[in-house]
Homo-oligomer: A and B are copies of this chain.
Amino acid sequence: MRQVDPIRMAAWRRSLDAHAAVLRVLNSELEGMVGMPLSWYDVLVNLEAAPGGQLRMSELAERIVLSQSGLTRLIDRMAQAGLVERTHCDSDRRGRFTVLTEEGRQALHAAAPTHIDGVWRHFATHLSDEEAATLADVYARVDAAARDRSVEVVD
């Protein structure tokens, strides 16, 4: 069992609280301005960045860090709202694609300015260039390690 030094523990606690606080504000602003929860926005962003505007359910679930069942229900609601559609995968008929609709693309573009402005005001404006680079670097490593628990060694 390892100990964690005070500086690293402070980094952990501060980042936890700050993330919770920022997420709460961003969610509330996006919901209030364009009536869209942040979880929907994340799905739309990932779909638009994907080739053909479509992703497998399992792939999408992994990207937005959501359980498969949680994603099924999230996509249910978004499909109900017309922002995405489901199609079958020809090569493997167990799988399904979630496809961005034109309406979904427009909703994303309508929401983006509010969201990006919020990220600026509540997060990015507080970082120097060096700090931003450090965060991007650090969290790329942390993220990769947490997602790939098979490399976990008790040490």
> Are A9 and B119 in contact, CB atoms less than 8 angstroms apart?
yes
**What number of copies of this chain does the assembly contain?**
2
Complexed CA–CA distance, A147 and B123 (Å): 12
* A127 contact from B11, B25, B154, Cβ within 8 A: B11
Task: Tell me the count of chain A residues lying within 8 A, CB to CB, of chain B.
Answer: 58
Q: Measured between alpha carbons, how far is A124 from B142 in the docked complex, in Å?
A: 9
Q: Is the CB of A19 within 8 A of B25?
A: no
B19 touching A135 by the CB < 8 A rule?
Answer: no
A23 → chain B, closest Cβ, in Å?
Answer: 8
Secondary structure dominating the interface of A: helix
Once the chains are docked, how many angstroms separate the CA of A120 from the CA of B124?
A: 27
Evaluate contact between A147 and B19: CB separation under 8 angstroms.
no
A18 to B65, CA, bound (A): 9
Query: What CA separation (Å) do A116 and B127 show in the bound complex?
Result: 28
Known: A4-B119, A8-B132. A21 touches B127 (CB 8 A): no
| Known A-B contacts A116-B2, A136-B14, A138-B127; A65 and B146 likewise in contact (beta carbons under 8 Å) | no
Asked if residues A133 and B7 are in contact (CB atoms below 8 Å), the reply is yes
Instruction: Report, nearest first, the 8 A-B pairs whose CB atoms are least far apart.
Output: A18-B143, A14-B139, A20-B65, A21-B146, A11-B135, A8-B124, A2-B120, A18-B139
Residues of A within 8 A of B (CB): 1-5, 7-12, 14-25, 63, 65, 113, 116-117, 119-127, 129, 131-143, 145-147, 149, 152, 154-155
